[in-house]
Amino acid sequence: MYPVTSRPIGPAGRVVRPPRPARRRHVPTTPIPASGAWREDQPVGNRQFVELGPLPLEAGGQLPEVTLAYETWGELSPAGDNAILVLHALTGDSHVVGEAGAGHASAGWWADQIGPGRPLDTNRYFVVAPNVLGGCQGSTGPSSNAPNGTPWGSRFPYVTVRDQVAAELELADFLGIGAWQLVIGASMGGHRVLEWAVTAPDRVAAIAAIATSAQTSADQIAWAHAQLGAIRADPKFRGGDYYDAADGDGPHVGLGIARQIAHTTYRSAHELDERFGRLPQGGENPLGGGGRFAVQSYLDHHADKLARRFDANSYVALTESMLTHDLGRDRGGVESALATIRARTLALAVDTDRLFPPSQSQRIAAGVPNGIYRELRSDHGHDGFLIEHDQVGAILSEFLAG
């Protein structure tokens, strides 16, 4: 490692570190399941469930039976006025806080922000995190059973961000929450945050839309198109009907490629160059195609991890809901819709985000009457909202205090 005093300085004053040595990653030997979705015969973990009945859909038709899985922390006040809604990103779920274990394939994804004495202080707030409609961790989605008792699969209807928020509104009713003190979410979760503020302005006091947009851009649609194509091109996708396949016989190759494409957009070029450079993976030799570079092994690792905990159909359904995200649809355009938001609004961006660039957060802050803009400084790109715990916490604490 270079001495601190002699480290070269890169763009924007960032320290340029030498590449880290390549490490051998543990290669799982257990079969990859046809789907990583949670199923009813598996441990419940910390999930709770609410049955919502039929849900009309924006694109037409309805889901005849809708269940939402959710988790909570803290206690709801007698007046029901201390609730915070946390909305997860594409491959997240309701397990925001807690260890991995029975019923939960991975540890909570935002535990540094939620808990006693943390920015979303559970000594003060009642925090609720649902698994999104169309997801695969307990809420109704393609992997859950249709009325005939078999998984929806290819029959699962198209759902939009507005459909997802409609289901979450019913969850709030069930929990006795008239208005949220804060609705917060990042990336895909940020889409629902903004939709909440426009759809139900009387039920949202403040929102925090993190690393997100008010309208999906052509660039984002292009990245998503390749991911959807990778999944659908996998012969083991079977048009979406693969749930009765044996372990290892599901579309995990296509899902893994989709994850690799997506993960590249979640991280910055600066981080990947600094972290991996052109180092080979362990003793492998990339010359002549006989081995991999370390960054290739890193992407392979994330592809394998996702295939073990997620569902290809949910990836398709949720990505398609993101494609049509447009806060201004049938509302006179994005700026007209943003102008109707009455909630105090924090638009938080990551300065190196190449998936949801800061300009998209700036548009939100500029269009909302009570909007403020803040920016995380991070080498990690889009995933900075998951990594820069201290910065995120300080900004959230300041916003909640205001």
Q: Which of 88, 95, 191, 382 is catalytic?
A: 382
Distance, CA of 305 to CA of 298 (rounded, Å): 11
Q: Which of 35, 94, 143, 187 is catalytic?
A: 187
Reply yes or no on whether 353 is catalytic: yes
* Residue among 25, 172, 148 nearest 85 (CA): 172
* Residue among 351, 395, 342 nearest 371 (CA): 342
Residue 165 CB neighbour total at 10 angstroms: 24
56: Cα separation from own chain's centroid? 24
Q: How many residues does the chain have?
A: 402
Find out whether 88 and 70 touch, Cβ atoms under 8 Å: no
Reply yes or no on whether 382 is catalytic: yes
Helix (H) or strand (E) holding 72: strand 62-73
User: How buried is 3 (Cβ within 10 angstroms: 0-12 exposed, 13-18 middle, 19+ buried)?
Assistant: exposed
Residue in this structure with the two tokens 């929990």, named with its chain if needed: 175
Q: Which of 93, 163, 311, 353 is catalytic?
A: 353
Return the structure tokens found at 131: 């698994």
Which residues form the catalytic set? Answer: 187, 353, 382
